[in-house]
Copies of this chain bind each other. A is one copy, B any other.
């Protein structure tokens, strides 16, 4: 699942309009029908665009969806920096939970899960890098390792997003962090 944004030598005007309406169409359809039941002709029709344009720009559905999904949860967004590891992780986890409480983002994650596994996805790699960054800030004496963050903070969130989305609420992030820091 490699996700390099499909670049365009004429990014403005009509191309931008096509990109935008396709993006909206994909998000709507993935949310309405689930990643499995979305096809390129379907997206093209909803977007008011010719299917050929989609095929020529992205090649196939997976590439297109990965490309579109990249626009969300920007990898270059600022990582919380609040003064303590615990509050950084809380803020960060809340962001992730809020992101995936959006059904479109959840559906895109599920779609990505299906094709994950052989190679580390951008999504996973980014989460790991961000976790490492926060932990390192507070030195090697940190009570928490990046792997623990993945296992006990990211994993429960992602598991719930995929399999138990209705259990995600605004308290999820905080209580997971509490458990992570209990007795340390």
Contact = CB atoms under 8 A, between A and B. Distances in A.
A117 B111 contact: no
Contacts of A82: none
Count of identical protomers in the assembly: 2
A165 B121 CA distance: 12
B163 A120 contact: yes
* Interface of chain A, main secondary structure: helix
Contacts of A155: 155-156, 158-160
A162 B154 CA distance: 13
A121 B118 CA distance: 24
Nearest to A163: B124
A110 interface: yes
A153 to B, nearest CB: 10
A164 interface: yes
B176 A151 contact: yes
Interface in A127-184: 148, 150-152, 154-156, 158-160, 162-165, 176, 179, 182-183
A117 B165 contact: yes
Given A152-B152, A158-B159, 16 more contacts: A36-B62, A36-B115, A113-B114, A113-B163, A116-B162, A117-B162, A120-B164, A121-B163, A123-B163, A124-B164, A150-B156, A151-B152, A151-B156, A152-B156, A155-B160, A156-B156
Interface of A: 34-36, 62, 106-107, 110-111, 113-118, 120-121, 123-124, 148, 150-152, 154-156, 158-160, 162-165, 176, 179, 182-183
